[in-house]
Chains A and B, each alone.
Chain A
Amino acid sequence: MDSLRELYQEVILDHGKNPRNFTTPDNATNKALGNNPLCGDQLTVYLKVDSGFVEDVSFIGHGCAISIASASMMTEFIKGKSEDEIKQIFNKFHEMCTDEGIDKGSIEELEKLQVLSGVREYPTRVKCATLPWHTLLAALAGEKEVTTE
């Protein structure tokens, strides 16, 4: 149960049950649909981008506790950041979810997002945590749709 408790921490359960920024805005400049064909999870990420900065971000969709929590925490974390910063955060986040030998010090900048590092122990669940992030990058790039496959 230990690694399960690690995976399903309070913060994750809270964001999973009560996702933040879970709404369809009227003024989005970019949006993309993220699809995990293996499980059927789907998320749409909406962005309001102005002069290279993400001024607002929200999402809707359905998925497991991990993917919903990851999306919810992502929206809180990236609001106000520049596209370049977001790309760097994406890389760090991806590394945290997949690289077992990662140096803990190197992901401190991810702050609260570090609670999602528990997915490393569950290879089949890594995509749940990264789906919202792949969708975010697709939205930034002006792509309409992305799948985790």
Chain B
Amino acid sequence: MMSLRTDKDEKYTFNVDNVRKDFPIFKESMNGQPLVFLDTAASAQKPNQVIDSITEIYKTEYANVHRGLYKISETLTAKYEGVREIISDYINAEHTSEIIFTRNATESINLVARSFGKSFLKENDEIILSELEHHANIVPWQMLREEIGVIIKIAPINDEGEFIIDEFEKLLCNRTKLVAISHMSNVLGSILPVKEITRLSQAVGAKVLIDGCQAITHLPVDVQKIGCDFYVFSGHKLYGPSGVGVLYAREELLEMMPPFMGGGDMISAVTFEESTWAKIPHKFEAGTPAIVQVIGLGVAIEYLKSLGLEDIRKYEKTILDYATQKLLDIEGLRLIGTAEDKASVLSFTLDFAHPHDVATIIDGAGVAVRAGHHCAQPLMNRMNVAATVRASLGLYNTEEDIDRLVSSLHNVSEIFN
């Protein structure tokens, strides 16, 4: 077996034991056992830094933003707006005003479909999605199809779960107006060649939206290098609070796009005859935003940066490799998604037990995984499975977590065989 940590380039200062101390949930038990949390792809656990910042704001400096002519409102507004800079820097946007806060990635995609899609696409224009999309990157486009008659085409993946760029290229033509595609699969862990996809798409004049929900947690994201027009993600998978998502869009597009929702905070002036819109990004943020969650997300990103993003990724790779090897040793286990380029997600089936039975039984051993179709039913059909068990990794997972998963899977085998 190849040693995981001898390569000189693979060295890092990341210390998982210290990191785990930052996450209070790991002091808790589940069904009488220390918690093994393997469901970060659904939502990540939160470090004390994030939790404390939220409590602290509510205790000492809470007020609404963009309104109060008093000190604590001004301070909090500055903090809230400061997160735009943190995120802009994190994904290397050209302008801070290209960062829009939403409720989650789903809302970000719906915003693009409603605002950009409805205004700039027309009947028979083509949208390309991939076979591995999450329902959140399928349904909004189907709703748009209902409304204006766009055509949806599906770019295939191979049996390993890899995007087939040659087949994708064949779908592109001058009717292609939008390509909406995942950066990383939430079920298979496959990483898609988003830079190449973007280059090919823009060459035929299409705009490109990347769903970065999984990638943002595990991969470096540089929107200028990718060259995409839209990039979306949720805060809660990035160790931040739930209730905040991000839409990145290129400035010139945001300027052209009409508002998504109307209300306070997004206007310049209102009379009963007409209203004029605020400048971007505020044009897209109607009503009181998720103030404290946004600030919590900023804290989460600063926390990750303090640990060293490169080190986190290297560490996560060692755990993924360890888990892959350990799981493949289990008789009757089939890994679903074996892309060469993948990260932090292990989907599998056992030939002797259904994924739901597996999840229930290993829950008894304190192991939290997801079982089901993972909001990606078309992908399940493509891979010829009704459901899978999914173990997904975060920066706090250890080899011991994987050993506990493996031993709990032996419990399943004991019950069923």
Contacts and interface: CB of A to CB of B under 8 A. Distances in A.
Chains A and B belong together in one complex = yes
Interface of A: 1, 3-5, 7-8, 13, 38-42, 62-66, 122, 124-125, 128
Interface string B347-386: 0000001111100110010000001110001001000001
Given A1-B364, A40-B372, A62 B386 contact: yes
B364 A39 contact: no
A39 B371 contact: yes
Nearest to B385: A40
13 contacts: A1-B364, A4-B364, A4-B415, A5-B415, A8-B415, A13-B415, A39-B373, A40-B380, A40-B387, A41-B386, A63-B354, A66-B357, A128-B356
A7 B416 CA distance: 12
Q: How large is the interface on B (under 10, 10 to 19, 20 to 34, 35 or more residues)?
A: 10 to 19
A8 B361 contact: yes
B338 interface: no
B354 to A, nearest CB: 4
Contacts of B373: 39-40
B361 A65 contact: no
A40 B415 contact: no
A13 B417 CA distance: 10
Contacts of B361: 4, 8
Contacts of B64: none
B411 interface: yes
B377 A4 contact: no
A125 B361 CA distance: 12
A39 B387 contact: yes
B377 A65 contact: no
A38 B372 contact: yes
Given A38-B372, A125-B356, 14 more contacts: A1-B411, A4-B360, A4-B415, A7-B360, A8-B357, A8-B416, A39-B356, A39-B373, A40-B387, A41-B386, A42-B386, A62-B386, A65-B354, A128-B356
Nearest to B365: A1
Contacts of B411: 1
What 8 pairs between A and B have smallest CB-CB spacing?
Answer: A64-B354, A64-B356, A40-B373, A39-B372, A4-B364, A65-B357, A64-B357, A8-B415
B364 A40 contact: no
A79 B355 CA distance: 30
Interface in B159-189: none
A132 B243 CA distance: 36
A124 B360 CA distance: 9
B377 A40 contact: yes
Nearest to A42: B386
A8 B364 CA distance: 12
Contacts of B354: 63-65
Interface string B199-220: 0000000000000000000000
B364 A3 contact: yes
A15 to B, nearest CB: 13
A125 B355 CA distance: 12
A65 B353 contact: yes
Contacts of A42: 386
A42 B416 CA distance: 22
Contacts of A39: 356, 371-373, 387
A57 B154 CA distance: 40
A65 B236 CA distance: 33
A62 B387 CA distance: 10
Nearest to A63: B354
Contacts of A3: 364
Nearest to A3: B364
Contact of B416 (A1, A13, A38, A122): A13
Interface string B404-415: 000000010001
A62 B356 CA distance: 12
Nearest to B352: A17
Contacts of A8: 357, 361, 415-416
Given A125-B356, A125-B360, A128-B356, A40 B416 contact: no
Residue with the greatest number of chain B CB neighbours at <10 A, chosen from A1, A4, A63: A4
Residue with the greatest number of chain A CB neighbours at <10 A, chosen from B371, B380, B387: B387
A1 B414 CA distance: 12
Nearest to A66: B357
B372 A122 contact: no
B42 to A, nearest CB: 13
B304 to A, nearest CB: 32
Contacts of B415: 4-5, 8, 13
Contacts of A63: 354
A128 B377 CA distance: 19
Contacts of B387: 39-40
A144 to B, nearest CB: 20
A139 B357 CA distance: 27
